[in-house]
Amino acid sequence: MNIGEVAKRSGVPAKTIRYYESIGLIAPAERSSAGYRVYGEKELQTLHFVHRARNLGFPVKQVSELLTLWRDRERASGDVKALAREHLAEIDQRMAELQAMRDTLEHLIGRCHGDHRPDCPILADLAGEPAEEPVGADTKSRVTANG
């Protein structure tokens, strides 16, 4: 198979395959007499493995470690599990960070009038300015207090 065919069958773009070769993640392909890369089923299987691992969010360094473990028939499954648990912990951390960002944005959106007035708690927060109470909230409380 040429690089276009293996890219199509593996789901990995040709440019990415060349990159993986350049960093040593996958072995350099054999070359045809015309100098074109030639891939076999073994390389296709490796690219499927890499593609699946990347789709699960494993960074390239961990994909390399997983490939080494995959090729080692004497490996301990505990080593694989430890890598997967480490990656899961990183995903959980990112999810917590994303949730915190979401909560902050939701709070700021709720405080923004979103009308013709120029004051905006979202921009104030981004600029690191102290938060001001919405003008409408102060007015209502004063009106209510004064009857």
β-strand pairing of 30-31 with 37-38: antiparallel
pLDDT, tens only, 29-87: 999 999 999 999 999 999 999 999 999 999 999 999 999 999 999 999 999 999 999 99
* Alpha carbons 147 and 140: distance in angstroms, whole number: 10
The answer regarding whether domain 1-58 maps to CATH 1.10.1660.10 reads yes
Whether the predicted model's global pTM rises above the 0.85 cut: no
pLDDT, tens only, 86-116: 999 999 999 999 999 999 999 999 999 999 9
Q: Could you state, in order of their start, the residue ranges of all structural domains in the chain?
A: 1-58
